[in-house]
A and B are shown apart, each in its own frame.
Chain A
């Protein structure tokens, strides 16, 4: 299993909370950027992938022409015959019928819509460029276009948000028939306008936790599975591409700020669009090769995010060697005895009530 991630670092406008790498007002660079992506792709020519994910930024800003050209190019460079899941992220304001239809034609079977909220006030307060009506229209269009799986992003903890408004957003999404919801708690990331000048009506951590727990209960009662810390899906609609990240799988990331994990080696492209356009293969940095013991611990940390699947120490021991998982197994056992983890024979998962306070567990699983 190998995933292909492609980063599209363009946005109409930067949202107040966002610290992902993307630039506003550079859409005119899209044609050159597609060329650069294909140049970078050629340095990995012949690789096969089972999942594809176009993320951003705002991938819908590629436009139908850009998207078509990119996919045509990728099909020439890579072996995409075994592609089981292909996701495109879209923003409601740029999810045009032409774009969505092109995506379908080019093999995308999953669309992730940046809904965030279905309340205009909440959307405005963090500088989103779309409104609730556009989000609903995009959802309807995605459905009509025939995507097998539709996902919506929702932000928990927007200014003035309460359970009433959040419930109404999520309720409508469920009613519209989305099969997947990613619910992220708003966080004040250093360097963002939101962190520099946080609004007074921002729900605090406790209020966020309260909203999150209510959202979990509601979605579970509607038949969604809380399969990852921030992700809910109807059965068989889990995002395969993201599951692969959390299972320690291999993936190639193309574009500035995209991360890769190939043959046990983690690396990323520097977040520098200008240089990338000139020299798409010269930005690799942060190369990291961990020893087997650290690798096993890292994978365990990632797998802990999978609330149902968790960590199977027997499987890890088989893959990394018993000597390299002994310390990890001991840590897991101790944590389970303290109630920090739930153990079921060789499998360990986070207790349901600790999903939102799991950093200390992640850190402990990683070890020293």
Chain B
């Protein structure tokens, strides 16, 4: 066990984590081909967006300069703001972390947030500046930032080029020298942490585990601490990077097990697996059920696809137990699901994958946070959708979730970032100046403002230089109202939204204007209204269409004419009927795009 090193890499998106991981894997002969695509990110979407969504672990045999054989376990961590709980669980499985900083970009907000998590978890940090092969690097700034922001002395910092492999052998030696070996006795009862999981249709759920005490092998009876459910182990093994079946996993080791676990809900990241023979073994501290922060309605465009959507969500949850969903029905959209996500990025990625991997055409409604409503009774209701709001006269007041954000931004963009914060109801809590060039803005925001286009907007006002991390602070009362949208007199539940009273009407007008452009002209006039309670705050009318006819007769080519009509009809099927009005899918997300 003294020759095992468990570590992860903390890095901002695009700072070269996957490339560095590949160089390490090549240098240690775990992978042989020099591929352009990173080996750890297995989903296309991750590559496209440059993000590692789900963690994985790779076992790396390493023959060190001291003549000894080591086993390095590289545990991959997600790098985005939505996944801080998952990060904390991955960190828990390690004794050390490589803190990777892009020499041309410097230290980013999320990196700091995750480094703090690592320091709090007692990990040894190996600071590494990457991309030293680039020409426009700012090494001195990086040293300064590491020192000022994280208290890391310059002499501890290694320099590498993940692309060329420069400095990687020294980094491997540093992992051996600086990171302590795992503790824990193989003779104690089994205690291991689930830090990730995958799903295999033959073997069921595959928890990725780090063993802290005891050992596990085929035939062992194990218990999942949070549920008390018992399973018999079918197989243990590790990833290299493909799964390799092993005899046994012992204290300090990292790998996976299978035990014919069919229910995704049985395996939660952060839970502890113990031996069924020793049910009183304590849980590893820190476990919590995933807390969805953002909800949206998901509806099949074609009603017949409801079954397909159900199956897709079920299957999806097997690989990502942080997603929650329940049945929902909408007057406008029919049957669908209310789905909860860890954050906006999590939502975007999940929707994209559902569409791509399950070939589903989906309508996603406006994302919503979970509001706390104190009724006149009084009672406390947690409501994740505007359509579930009680009648106004039953509401005493509404509270909304508040987050604290750390925004790191180069000085020249502070103004626009503050303007943006203003428009998003941010209150400035503090400012820090870690070096002569960047400012850390600490803001409290209503989460609802963050999920409606804040990231994209922040990126655009700072030309991509600003980065942000956040933590949930709790609930605060807000002067909020529900705005209803009526199409030809019919309330469209899926278009309702919650907004601060002072901007509710302005947004209503903007939304109505947007909808007027999105909803096609019909054979009759279509009125669009935004209303708060009974008061109409905005109205526009879509005038009837005057021309929509196939006038020509192509020398009797009736088949072509019929096919044109059928195509037009297919297009209409993709719209949702509200009364007699056809509403295109984009309309349901148009509130998000109001500011564009």
For window 1-40 of chain A, which residues contact chain B by CB distance below 8 Å? 3, 5, 7, 20
| Contact A359 to B559, CB < 8 A, known contacts A187-B551, A206-B546, A208-B547 | no
- A357 touching B548 by the CB < 8 A rule? yes
B residues contacting the other copy or chain, number (CB 8 A):
24
A261 at the interface (CB under 8 A from B): yes
Q: How far is the CA of A55 from the CA of B566 in the complex (A)?
A: 27
B551 contact from A3, A229, A246, Cβ within 8 A? A229
- A301 touching B562 by the CB < 8 A rule? yes
Q: How far is the CA of A253 from the CA of B87 in the complex (A)?
A: 70
B549 at the interface (CB under 8 A from A): yes
| Contact A259 to B547, CB < 8 A, known contacts A230-B552, A245-B553, A366-B565 | no
- A356 touching B548 by the CB < 8 A rule? yes
B34 at the interface (CB under 8 A from A): no
Q: Which residue of B lies closest to A368 (CB)?
A: B569
Q: Which residue of B lies closest to A257 (CB)?
A: B555
Render A237-250 as a binary contact track against B, CB cut-off 8 A, 1 for contact.
Answer: 00000100110000
- B558 touching A266 by the CB < 8 A rule? yes
A355 at the interface (CB under 8 A from B): yes
B554 at the interface (CB under 8 A from A): yes
Q: How far is the CA of A20 from the CA of B557 in the complex (A)?
A: 11
Output the residue of A259, A286, A301 with the most chain B CB within 10 A. Answer: A259
Q: Output the least CB separation between B543 and chain A (Å).
A: 8
Q: Output the least CB separation between B524 and chain A (Å).
A: 9
Q: How far is the CA of A210 from the CA of B572 in the complex (A)?
A: 26
Q: Which residue of B lies closest to A267 (CB)?
A: B559
Interface residue range, chain A:
35 or more
| Contact A184 to B551, CB < 8 A, known contacts A356-B546, A363-B568 | yes
B556 contact from A185, A251, A355, Cβ within 8 A? A251
Q: Output the least CB separation between B582 and chain A (Å).
A: 10
A343 at the interface (CB under 8 A from B): no
Q: How far is the CA of A286 from the CA of B563 in the complex (A)?
A: 12
Q: Output the least CB separation between A150 and chain B (Å).
A: 19
Output the residue of B545, B553, B554, B555 with the most chain A CB within 10 A. Answer: B555
Render A202-220 as a binary contact track against B, CB cut-off 8 A, 1 for contact.
Answer: 0001101110100000000
A268 at the interface (CB under 8 A from B): yes
Q: How far is the CA of A366 from the CA of B558 in the complex (A)?
A: 12
A362 at the interface (CB under 8 A from B): yes
Q: Which residue of B lies closest to A53 (CB)?
A: B555
- B555 touching A357 by the CB < 8 A rule? no
- A209 touching B559 by the CB < 8 A rule? no
Q: Which residue of B lies closest to A206 (CB)?
A: B546
- A5 touching B568 by the CB < 8 A rule? no
- B523 touching A253 by the CB < 8 A rule? no
B555 contact from A229, A253, A266, Cβ within 8 A? A253
Q: Output the least CB separation between B204 and chain A (Å).
A: 41
| Contact A259 to B558, CB < 8 A, known contacts A301-B565, A366-B566 | yes
B548 contact from A251, A259, A359, Cβ within 8 A? A359
| Contact A185 to B555, CB < 8 A, known contacts A301-B562, A366-B565 | no
B546 contact from A184, A209, A242, A340, Cβ within 8 A? A209
- A357 touching B558 by the CB < 8 A rule? no
Q: Output the least CB separation between A1 and chain B (Å).
A: 13
- A259 touching B554 by the CB < 8 A rule? yes
Q: Output the least CB separation between A156 and chain B (Å).
A: 9
Q: Output the least CB separation between A301 and chain B (Å).
A: 7
| Contact A357 to B556, CB < 8 A, known contacts A298-B562, A301-B562 | no
A111 at the interface (CB under 8 A from B): no
Q: How far is the CA of A286 from the CA of B561 in the complex (A)?
A: 13
Q: Which residue of A lies closest to B573 (CB)?
A: A368
Residues of chain B within 8 A (CB-CB) of A230 are 551-553
- A357 touching B559 by the CB < 8 A rule? no
A258 at the interface (CB under 8 A from B): yes
Output the residue of B550, B551, B568 with the most chain A CB within 10 A. Answer: B551
For window 522-562 of chain B, which residues contact chain A by CB distance below 8 Å? 523, 544-560, 562
Q: Output the least CB separation between B538 and chain A (Å).
A: 24
A288 at the interface (CB under 8 A from B): yes
Q: How far is the CA of A185 from the CA of B553 in the complex (A)?
A: 12
Q: How far is the CA of A278 from the CA of B556 in the complex (A)?
A: 25
- A5 touching B555 by the CB < 8 A rule? yes
B550 contact from A3, A253, A288, A359, Cβ within 8 A? A359
Residues of chain A within 8 A (CB-CB) of B545 are 205, 357
- A209 touching B565 by the CB < 8 A rule? no
Can you pick out 29 interface pairs between chain A and chain B where the beta carbons lie within 8 Å of each other? A5-B555, A7-B555, A184-B551, A184-B552, A185-B547, A185-B549, A206-B547, A210-B546, A229-B551, A258-B555, A259-B555, A259-B557, A260-B556, A268-B557, A286-B559, A354-B523, A355-B549, A356-B547, A356-B549, A357-B544, A357-B547, A357-B548, A357-B549, A358-B548, A362-B565, A363-B569, A363-B572, A366-B562, A366-B566
Which A residues lie at the B interface, using CB under 8 A? 3, 5, 7, 20, 55, 184-185, 187, 205-206, 208-210, 212, 229-230, 242, 245-246, 251, 253, 257-261, 266, 268, 286, 288, 298, 301-302, 340, 354-360, 362-363, 366
Which 4 residue pairs are nearest across A and B when measured between Cβ atoms?
A: A209-B546, A259-B557, A205-B547, A209-B547
